[in-house]
Amino acid sequence: MPYSLDTARILAEPLVSSFFQTCEGDWRSKRRYYTLKNDDVQEVVSYINIRFLPTGSAELQELHRLHELPERTQLVCGAQVTWESNYMQAGKKSVNGSTLFGVRGSTLYRDRGFATDKPVTADFTFREPRTMVLKTAYAGSSFEEEIKLIGDSTRTRQTIISRAGEEIMIGQYLEQRC
């Protein structure tokens, strides 16, 4: 049963801290992106490293600066995610990257978005302690993502990308610890 909105806000910081710590480590991600208008399917295999960031870490201080947060506002925890993605279609090159996540209340601060290099924020909730739901919107697009921990070594993710109120792409991921 999902938490009430008030309960979710009260529990947000300790829940996300525990969630990020549980996710720390190396993962192999197999995913598919489905473009809904033309039935295009892209398959990608990524190697992901997730590192938990405690309060006061240099990375969170940089994220704080990027978002121009008030000086007395502190990000309580976060994660640094680095990846190498390999597209299965011929002619596609590997893509490497990284992103920072930081948390305050029920807001997730990022140094970049899925489709932008600019800092973005997302609202998050938990359906239960092992299922995080993110909602992000910028530049006319919205992103709804659910990340679910299954046991100790498996995660699933699903992302629905919409533009102008119409769903345009679905990403589905199966991630396993390396």
pLDDT digits (tens, 9 = 90+) for 15-35: 999 999 999 999 999 999 999
The b-or-e profile of 59-76 (16+ CB within 10 A means b, else e) is bbeebbebbeeeeeeebb
Predicted pLDDT at 114: 85
Topology (CATH) of 5-177 = Lipocalin (2.40.128)
Answer whether residue 2 shows pLDDT above 90.
Answer: no
What DSSP line would sit under 162-178, residue for residue?
Answer: EETTEEEEEEEEEEEE-
Q: Provide the token pair at 22.
A: 């549980």
Answer whether residue 40 shows pLDDT above 90.
Answer: yes
Answer whether residue 6 shows pLDDT above 60.
Answer: no
The residue among 173 and 72 whose pLDDT is bigger is 173
Q: Are 20 and 57 in contact (CB under 8 A)?
A: no
pLDDT single digits (tens) 120-153:
999 999 999 999 999 999 999 999 999 999 999 9
Q: Give the three-class secondary structure for 99.
A: strand
Give the whole-number percent of the chain exceeding pLDDT 70: 94
Domain boundaries, the chain: 5-177
Q: Provide the token pair at 20.
A: 């990020």
pLDDT single digits (tens) 59-73:
999 999 999 999 998
Query: Side chain identity at 136, as an amino acid letter?
Result: T
Predicted pLDDT at 141: 95
- Phi, psi dihedral angles at 118 (to 5 degrees): -85, 150
Mean pLDDT value across the chain = 93
Confidence of residue 90 (pLDDT cuts 50, 70, 90): confident
Q: Give the three-class secondary structure for 55.
A: coil
Q: Are 88 and 63 in contact (CB under 8 A)?
A: no
Predicted pLDDT at 59: 98
Answer whether residue 5 shows pLDDT above 80.
Answer: no
Q: Provide the token pair at 141.
A: 């697009």
Confidence of residue 11 (pLDDT cuts 50, 70, 90): confident
